[in-house]
Amino acid sequence: MRRTSLKTAKCPVARTLDVVGDWWTLLIVRDALKGVRRFGEFQKNLGMAKNILSARLREMVAAGIMEMRPAEDGSAHNEYHLTEAGQRLQTVLVALRQWGEQYLFEPGEPMMMAVDRDNEQPLRRIELAARDGRALTSADVMVKEGRAAEPAKSSRRVSQRAR
């Protein structure tokens, strides 16, 4: 029942949580962004029960976040690859990551860090900004009724059928 109500919500936060609101899903995306491709690797890295992992991956493929491909080395294993939509969840992961870095670690505590591959420096902190670039705080943001953009974006949408 909750699934239905979130899926058709007018709020994009709610709809997104319908797709990725299970924390396993975001941890799977995290590992896929690091280059994990195979069922056994996900299972080992995440320590998940096979049946739960299997269900999550199936849902992610159905939602258009992941796709299955034959293994690149020609072996019998299938590989799971993030679609473009799945890769774009990186912003969600970085926002979660930076919040955790700020609030959930002791100074000097060992921590996995997301860095720029070029120079291994941490990423710029995500800040909210207006269209013209002005920095915004949470108090500067309000929510109002509107409509989804009309044009070109539609080609990038996740299939509604698949959801």
Of 13-72, which residues contact a copy of itself (CB under 8 A)?
A: 13-17, 19-23, 26-27, 30, 33-34, 47, 64
Nearer to a copy of itself, 68 or 96 (CB): 96
Shortest distance, CB of residue 147 to a copy of itself, whole angstroms?
Answer: 5
Residue 71's CB: how many other CB atoms inside 10 A? 12
Read out DSSP for 44-93? HHHT--HHHHHHHHHHHHHTTSEEEEE-TTSSS-EEEEE-HHHHTTHHHH
Beta bridge partners of 70: 78
Alpha-carbon span 28 to 146, nearest angstrom: 33
User: Footprint of a copy of itself on residues 101-160 (CB under 8 A)?
Assistant: 101-124, 126-131, 133-134, 136-151, 153-154, 156-158, 160
Nearer to a copy of itself, 12 or 74 (CB): 12
74 binds a copy of itself (CB under 8 A): no
Alpha-carbon span 7 to 21, nearest angstrom: 12
Shortest distance, CB of residue 77 to a copy of itself, whole angstroms?
Answer: 23
